C-alpha cells in the first residue's frame, strides 16, 4: 500500500498543473524573449506587446504554462512560412472559450517575423507561423472577413535553425489535419520527418 501511495505521489508531482481560468487573463510584459528548443537546435523570439497586445498576452500565457512543449512544426512551406502550435484537443478544449479579439496590423510580416495563423474572425488561438521570407501580402490580405496577420515579434537568434526545419511535406499536411488533432501517432506515421519543439519557455523579461 505504501509503495502504491509513493508511486501516486511521484506521478502527480511530475504532471503539469491543471488548467486554471485565470491563466487566460494574464498580461504579458511590454517586451520579452522566448527560447524554442527544437529537434534541429534552438532559436529565440523577441515578442513586443505593442504590435498586437491581446495576441501577445495569449502567447505569453501559452509559453508561461509550457503549452508549446512537445508540439510540431507541422507545416513548413519553402520560401513562405514555418507553422507550429498546440494541437492537443484536451488543451484546446480548455482554452477555446477564451477568445482573442482581432487587432490591426501595425508591424510587417518580414523574414523572421512571427504571427498567429487564423481561419476567420477571432480565430487566433494556438497556431503561429514564422515568415521564411518577406511576405508583405500577409499584412493586407483579406481572408474570411479579416484583414492581415498581425506580427507579434521576430526571430532574433537562430534563424538558420528555422530555415533548416523539414519542409518536404509542404501544404500536403492539410489533407490530414483532422488526424493531427485526433490521433497524433497516426499523423506522425504519415509525416515521420516533421520537426519537434521539445521545449519552449520565457527566456528574458525586460
Give the tens place of pLDDT for each residue, 45-71.
999 999 999 999 999 999 999 999 999
More confident residue, 30 or 206: 30
Q: How many helices (H) and strands (E) does the chain have?
A: 7, 10
Reduced to 3 states, what is the DSSP secondary structure of residue 116? strand
**Contact call for residues 103 and 136 (beta carbons, < 8 A):** no
- Domains of the chain plus CATH, in order, are 20-205 (2.40.100.10)
Question: CA 160 to CA 155: how far, in whole Å?
Answer: 10
List, for residues 129-166, the tens digit of each pLDDT value. 999 999 999 999 999 999 999 999 999 999 999 999 99
In sign, the C-alpha dihedral spanning 170, 39, 189, 193 is positive
* Partners of 71 in the β-ladder: 197
List, for residues 81-106, the tens digit of each pLDDT value. 999 999 999 999 999 889 999 999 99
CB 181: neighbour CB atoms within 10 A?
13
Mode of pairing for the β-strands spanning 81-85 and 113-116: unpaired
Amino acid at each position: 500500500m505504501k509503495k502504491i501511495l509513493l508511486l501516486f505521489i511521484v506521478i502527480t508531482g511530475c504532471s503539469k498543473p491543471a488548467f486554471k481560468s485565470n491563466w487566460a487573463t494574464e498580461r504579458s510584459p511590454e517586451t520579452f524573449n522566448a527560447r524554442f528548443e527544437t529537434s534541429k537546435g534552438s532559436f529565440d523570439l523577441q515578442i513586443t506587446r505593442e504590435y498586437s497586445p491581446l495576441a501577445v498576452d495569449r502567447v505569453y500565457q501559452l509559453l508561461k504554462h509550457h503549452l508549446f512543449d512537445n508540439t510540431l512544426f507541422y507545416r513548413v512551406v519553402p520560401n513562405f512560412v514555418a507553422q507550429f502550435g498546440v494541437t492537443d484537443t484536451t488543451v484546446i478544449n480548455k482554452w477555446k472559450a477564451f477568445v482573442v479579439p482581432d487587432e490591426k496590423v501595425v508591424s510587417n510580416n518580414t523574414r523572421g517575423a512571427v504571427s498567429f495563423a487564423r481561419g476567420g474572425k477571432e480565430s487566433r488561438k494556438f497556431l503561429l507561423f514564422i515568415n521564411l521570407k518577406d511576405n508583405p501580402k500577409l499584412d493586407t490580405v483579406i481572408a474570411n472577413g479579416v484583414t492581415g496577420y498581425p506580427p507579434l515579434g521576430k526571430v532574433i537568434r537562430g534563424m538558420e535553425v528555422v530555415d533548416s526545419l523539414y519542409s518536404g511535406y509542404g501544404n500536403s499536411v492539410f489533407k490530414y489535419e483532422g488526424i493531427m488533432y485526433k490521433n497524433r501517432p497516426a499523423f506522425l506515421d504519415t509525416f515521420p520527418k516533421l520537426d519537434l519543439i521539445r521545449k519552449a519557455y520565457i527566456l528574458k523579461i525586460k
